[in-house]
Structure 1
Amino acid sequence: MKLKATLSLLQAIIGFSLPVQTTSGLVVGHAASDAFEVSEYLGVPYAVPPIGSLRFQPPVRYTGNGTHNATTFGPSCIQPPVAPPTNDTNHAPPQDLGVPPSATAAFASEVYPANEDCLTLNIWTKPQIGEEKKAVLVWVYGGAYVSGSTRLPTYRGQFIAEQTDVVVVSINYRVNIFGFPGNPTTPANLGLRDLRMSIEWVRDNIKLFGGDPERITLFGQSAGAGMVDFYSFAYPDDPIVSGFIEMSATIYGFPALTEAETNDRWFHVTNLIGCGNATSDDLDAVTNCMMRKTVDEILAGYDPASVPITPSPYGPVIDNELVFSSYMNRTAARGGYLIGNTENEAGLFKLLQAPQNESYWTDFNNRLYTCANIFRIKQSVAQGNPAWRYRYFGDFPNLVLTTTPPSGAYHTAELGPLFDTVNQSLLASTPAEVSVGIYLRNAWSSFAKDPQRGLDSFWPRYSENGTERTLARIGFHNKTVSLAPGNMYDNVCRWSYDGVSAPAPLPYIHSS
């Protein structure tokens, strides 16, 4: 208690966080903006910069004795070029969706500096009050394994740390060809290996920031949720973490890629850049050529047309070391699992893909999210892990993407309320929206504090009897939460899943 009182007094007097001696060196942070009592440490290196001979290689642990000015975010990992606008109406999204001005304000984002030297993490903590050893939430961003960064304003963790007595960490990992290159001459799944190394850093250092290394939970959305799920199977015997929150993706909805297709993609890029292709006599020479190219040269030959949002051409690939050729009989890490999706994931993708009819988008929501999720939840329960299921319905005026048709609770719609970072410049959050955000933060942090039982006071865990009221409908009809039967939305499920191939229709069984 004396330590807490001292920390609180120092925080009040000097207004910035105390330096912390870590395995990466002395880290000097500052007070978080708009959350003065929260200490913020930004851009802390956890791996050696993957440049030069380390490009397209697994991460190497960073250790040092120097001092890091941890007051600004590190660079984003390399992002792909954006495909130029097109007038081809056969491939362009429809232009009459009714995008309101508030959507432009809410989702406008500056261009952030990107660099291969990007393997850093960020920490938000409030050690002067609450538990001596706080549960830790580690954020893993999405972006279709193609893009993503901890720098996005939506992902700032200071408000979760301020309001819920947990430590929040966000990590950068390599994406696109730099994180999932598909190169047959070098190890695969570099982005997933980055995630592992960042978790090892958290395990070794988080106690110094007031965190509990025995209570670490991964939480991710979209491809970030996919990373969390792949991680749970990649490191089942030593996961380090004890909780897994998977928001809007599982390995069953978005399965692993095959080695052959990722190799084809790698050689497609190497050929465009002038480094050779799969028919080259010396594939190591192709790799060496790619190592010598500048980032700009690689991006110039990146061929944006071959990098759609869905399906993503990048991501975890079967290597039978971390990612496997079958998941039906594989055991995931022991721990608690919180899995769910939004009511209308397609509401975002309608802006990103070619026009489709509504039956296509209904199938999209059911096949890739609702039904894939329940398959994963049932597997978790069968393996003896507690699992909770939610469905997010929040549809709030300052987050509306489209009006014709309404975007509803679209893919990513819950992130602003969860992080308490919704843009307020044109429209303020409604009271219902504020309540939903508070509920999300409290539920997610309670899960992190005890992934085995922490959500029991919020809603019941999923049971094999899907008729029990174990589905949390968050934001349903503007209510904070209401409970429904666990299988309420599963009558549409007609696909089989294996985690390594696209969902397949189940055979029709005639009932007499």
Structure 2
Amino acid sequence: MKLFTIVTTLSLSLASWASPQFQRRQTNFTVGQIVETSSGPVAGHAAPTAPEVSEYLGIPYAQAPIGDLRFAAPVKFAGSSLINGSNFGFTCPALPSTGSSPTAAEVAAANLTEVGLEFLAVTTSPDVVYSEDCLYLNIWTKPQSGESQKAVMVFIYGGDFEGGSSSIGVYNGGVLADQEDVVIVNFNYRLSILGFPGNPTAQDNLAFLDQRLVIEWVRDNIANFGGDPARITLFGQSAGSSSTDFYSYAWACDPIIAGMILESGTIDSFTLPYSANDSAAFWYDVTAAVGCGNASTDSATLLTCMRNVDVNSILAAVPRSGINAAQSAFGPTVDDIIVFSNYSNLTPASIPVVVGNDNYESGLFRTELALSGGVFPDSVWDMYELSGYTCPSGLRANYSLAANNPTWRFRWFAVFPDLDISSEAGAYHGIELPLIFGTTNSFSTVNVTADEITFTAYIRGAWVAFAKDPVNGLTTYGWPLYDPAEETLIRLGFDNATGLNLAFPMLYDAGCANATSLLDLEISFLG
């Protein structure tokens, strides 16, 4: 806690010391101008969605994790050559798709809407290029107007730790940077076995080290882009949200960040973390499948072999059947350094928290299952909702209160026509992201309604109020601090209305004491 105070104070002092020179730079800032960074000078360009915003894409923050750096901790990238920030960097290799395009009958059975079809096309076939040389970040900023040092929002995408990319259109930060006077950053991190190898004789949880290195890069460089290194908010969705929460414990004494927003994921979500033994078993399943040996093989020889196997062969060998059809075989693994076996006795970083989930997270997964002909009763989906999202959100809010951190809790209800993917999806997993980023048009051609425009301004205003002042911003915005015994659960877009709508948390948490564990539930799914 004391170290956090020292770091924050030092950051503020450095910002004040550099202020006159920095503000002169702001006045003369031209869109896309070259910016000096520890990775080298970066040339940007005008963001296509917001011509006054400077977009800097494909900035390397770590050396390519290939050769001896495959299955190793990231190594900081340092360079002096000009970086052309015109294009996104490569996307980190992901597990190959196991599905095929749905038939017309399957689409009809899933009650997919026009938006659902568009959404499906984007999510099942993202326009990305895969390569292990993928550790890049992207920045959207507008230094020539607004605050001379802007709040910074760093986003982590989801994807069950086995998929995802910072270059997917929904996550584009141009609109948010343009309309809300903040600097937006997103980035790639390693996935599946490349990010969480489970090797018992080497460093694990590499993806979390990638994420930490990004935060350090932002701290060291963001002032040159008009950002305030003392006001960095880390936010994520799904696995990205869980990553954010894991981060708050792993670097509790030196978080760098000033606040965090957790959207549909915490340390208690899903079936994480994995035990070291379970992850090691999966690691050796893959090493044996690709011909590199098993637990009895010399560890150095085995690792050298794995570093020389084609990456596609490695990913193809990752288990995908049984429970691993629903839950990635490789993910956060207990090492009691970055990921811990027992969080009940640990204190998270001393920073404010916004935590919440969508009203019907299951709607997305129910729709996906229906597309393949699968059906589960409502009771199963309701329990999945409770165990995977509602209860973990409540637990994390309580952990935050126990640590005396300012805490707000939300539940998302809004479903507008241009986001409605099926008649049964409701306020599904991730529905909030296009509204927060202003990127609904990245997959939907349905017209935006007046109510949606009003609500979008409201919700973006809340996220940014927190980023600009994590301690007081939401209180000033009118949101009450969370109290599990009071009417303080913020229902966003209830009946698609804008404004404050409050409920008692127990209205949704009542079943948590008897909730089936998510692992048992997923096993029953696969029967």
Q: TM-score, normalised by structure 1?
A: 0.90
Q: Does 1:189 align with 2:208?
A: no
Aligned counterpart, 1:274: 291
Aligned counterpart, 1:166: 182
Aligned counterpart, 2:445: 426
Aligned counterpart, 1:394: 414
Would you say the 8 A contact 1:386–1:461 is kept in 2? no
Moved more, 155-164 or 367-376: 367-376
Would you say the 8 A contact 1:217–1:243 is kept in 2? yes
Say which SS state the counterpart of residue 218 (structure 1) adopts.
strand
Q: Does 1:490 align with 2:512?
A: no
Moved more, 236-245 or 347-356: 347-356
Aligned counterpart, 1:479: 497
Cα separation, partners in 2 of 1:309 and 1:399, compared to 1, 3 Å: farther
Q: 1:312 is aligned with what amino acid?
A: S
Say which SS state the counterpart of residue 381 (structure 1) adopts.
helix
Q: Does 1:414 align with 2:429?
A: no
Post-superposition shift, 1:304? Answer: 4.0
CA distance in 1, matches of 2:416, 2:198: 41
Aligned residues: 490
Which of 402, 405, 414 aligns to 1:385? It is 405
Post-superposition shift, 1:3? Answer: 7.6
Aligned counterpart, 2:488: 470
CA distance in 2, matches of 1:282, 1:99: 52
CA distance in 1, matches of 2:216, 2:21: 30
Say which SS state the counterpart of residue 256 (structure 2) adopts.
coil
Moved more, 440-449 or 216-225: 440-449
Aligned counterpart, 1:133: 149
Q: Does 1:104 align with 2:117?
A: yes
CA distance in 2, matches of 1:409, 1:335: 29
CA distance in 1, matches of 2:51, 2:255: 33
Q: 2:468 is aligned with what amino acid?
A: K
CA distance in 2, matches of 1:504, 1:205: 45
Q: Deviations over 1:439-488 (max 9, x none)?
A: 22111111011111111133434344522x32221111010233223413
Q: Map residues 197-208 of structure 1 onto 2, 5 A cutoff.
A: 197-208=213-224
CA distance in 2, matches of 1:29, 1:42: 7
Q: Does 1:372 align with 2:388?
A: no
CA RMSD of aligned residues (A): 2.4
Would you say the 8 A contact 1:144–1:314 is kept in 2? no
Aligned counterpart, 1:444: 463
Cα separation, partners in 2 of 1:100 and 1:485, compared to 1, 3 Å: closer
Aligned counterpart, 2:14: none
Post-superposition shift, 1:187? Answer: 0.4
Aligned counterpart, 1:122: 138
Q: Does 1:292 align with 2:308?
A: yes
Say which SS state the counterpart of residue 36 (structure 2) adopts.
strand
Aligned counterpart, 2:4: none
Would you say the 8 A contact 2:63–2:76 is kept in 1? yes
Q: Does 1:248 align with 2:248?
A: no
Say which SS state the counterpart of residue 48 (structure 1) adopts.
coil
Which of 7, 16, 21 aligns to 2:36? It is 21
Q: TM-score, normalised by structure 2?
A: 0.88
Aligned counterpart, 2:75: 60
Post-superposition shift, 1:307? Answer: 8.2
Aligned counterpart, 1:42: 57
Q: 1:37 is aligned with what amino acid?
A: E
CA distance in 1, matches of 2:325, 2:471: 35
CA distance in 2, matches of 1:2, 1:317: 45
CA distance in 1, matches of 2:198, 2:444: 43
Would you say the 8 A contact 2:387–2:515 is kept in 1? no
Cα separation, partners in 2 of 1:204 and 1:220, compared to 1, 3 Å: same
Q: Map residues 347-366 of structure 1 onto 2, 5 A cutoff.
A: 347-353=363-369, 354-366=374-386
Q: Deviations over 1:225-260 (max 9, x none)?
A: 000000000001000001011000111123311111
Q: 1:39 is aligned with what amino acid?
A: S
Cα separation, partners in 2 of 1:204 and 1:138, compared to 1, 3 Å: same
Aligned counterpart, 1:508: none
CA distance in 1, matches of 2:261, 2:196: 23
Aligned counterpart, 1:90: none
Q: Deviations over 1:54-103 (max 9, x none)?
A: 0000000111111100111001111111114499xxxxx99712112222
CA distance in 2, matches of 1:282, 1:325: 28
CA distance in 1, matches of 2:182, 2:329: 36
CA distance in 2, matches of 1:419, 1:261: 37
Post-superposition shift, 1:113? Answer: 0.3
Aligned counterpart, 1:71: 86
Post-superposition shift, 1:301? Answer: 2.8
Cα separation, partners in 2 of 1:339 and 1:463, compared to 1, 3 Å: closer
CA distance in 2, matches of 1:374, 1:190: 28
CA distance in 2, matches of 1:69, 1:430: 38
Q: Does 1:343 align with 2:343?
A: no
CA distance in 1, matches of 2:101, 2:153: 41
Post-superposition shift, 1:44? Answer: 0.3
Say which SS state the counterpart of residue 332 (structure 2) adopts.
coil
Would you say the 8 A contact 1:4–1:127 is kept in 2? no
Aligned counterpart, 2:8: none
Cα separation, partners in 2 of 1:298 and 1:2, compared to 1, 3 Å: closer
Post-superposition shift, 1:9? Answer: 6.7
Q: Does 1:265 align with 2:282?
A: yes
Aligned counterpart, 2:12: none
Say which SS state the counterpart of residue 477 (structure 2) adopts.
coil
Say which SS state the counterpart of residue 456 (structure 1) adopts.
helix
Moved more, 309-318 or 41-50: 309-318
Cα separation, partners in 2 of 1:242 and 1:4, compared to 1, 3 Å: closer
CA distance in 1, matches of 2:346, 2:391: 19
Q: Percent identity?
A: 41
Cα separation, partners in 2 of 1:495 and 1:251, compared to 1, 3 Å: farther
Cα separation, partners in 2 of 1:39 and 1:460, compared to 1, 3 Å: same
Query: Unaligned 5+ residue runs, structure 1?
Result: 88-92, 506-512
Query: Unaligned 5+ residue runs, structure 2?
Result: 1-19, 522-527
Aligned counterpart, 1:221: 237
Q: Which has the higher helix share?
A: 2
Would you say the 8 A contact 1:496–1:504 is kept in 2? no
Q: 2:308 is aligned with what amino acid?
A: R
Q: 2:368 is aligned with what amino acid?
A: L
Say which SS state the counterpart of residue 260 (structure 1) adopts.
helix
CA distance in 2, matches of 1:229, 1:281: 36
Cα separation, partners in 2 of 1:489 and 1:105, compared to 1, 3 Å: same
